[in-house]
Amino acid sequence: MRKPFLSLILSAALVVPTTAAWAHEPGTYESPIVEERVKRFKQSGADIQAIFKKHIGAGNYAAIEEAALRMAAWGRQMPDTFPEGSSSVGANPDIWENFPDFKNKAEAFANAAMQLKAVAGSRQAGPVKSAAQAVGATCKSCHQSYRIKH
């Protein structure tokens, strides 16, 4: 990303598909992949809120299982939506410095969501609430290192 200008021009001639990324200042680049991940994060935000504010109280464990599976699938796909060079206002550039750690955090999130899915099968509010809190902790853990609030 921070190559000298001349080499940027030279490599731009060779790497045509990624040149669009360099036409923008770092941090302002938006693309379909950034839109996609933001959409998926918003869905997780809505899912986790609905679990605490609606589904647990209503005893709607089927809805919790559905939300948990959606989050788990997203956790597994998440690293692929952060390809090298896909900087954005919300993504800390450290993601690409520490990509194995970022991937571990995404995996921890997916695993916690699968655990929530399993516990929801018990139909017991207390354990379900604890498992949902554990999912929330994995969101927070990644955000502390890698999300820029804007």
Q: Which residues bind ligand HEC (CB under 6 A)?
A: 34, 37-38, 41-42, 44-45, 48, 71, 78, 88, 90-91, 102, 105-106, 109, 135, 138-139, 142-143, 146-147
Which residue's CB comes closest to ligand HEC?
Answer: 90
Which residue reads 């080499």 in tokens?
7
Could you give the count of Cα atoms lying within 13 Å of 93 in the half-sphere of its Cβ?
7
Least distance (Å) between residue 37 CB and ligand HEC: 6
56 closest CA partner among 110, 135, 1, 109: 135
Q: Which is nearer to ligand HEC, 61 or 139 (CB)?
A: 139
112 closest CA partner among 100, 128, 126: 128
| Burial letters 86-107, b for 16+ CB under 10 A, else e | bbbebbbeebbeeeeebeebbe
Distance CA 2, CA 37 (A): 24
Least distance (Å) between residue 20 CB and ligand HEC: 16
Least distance (Å) between residue 119 CB and ligand HEC: 15
Least distance (Å) between residue 9 CB and ligand HEC: 27
Q: Which is nearer to ligand HEC, 119 or 139 (CB)?
A: 139
Q: Which is nearer to ligand HEC, 131 or 139 (CB)?
A: 139
147 closest CA partner among 77, 63, 89: 89
Least distance (Å) between residue 79 CB and ligand HEC: 8
Q: Which is nearer to ligand HEC, 61 or 105 (CB)?
A: 105
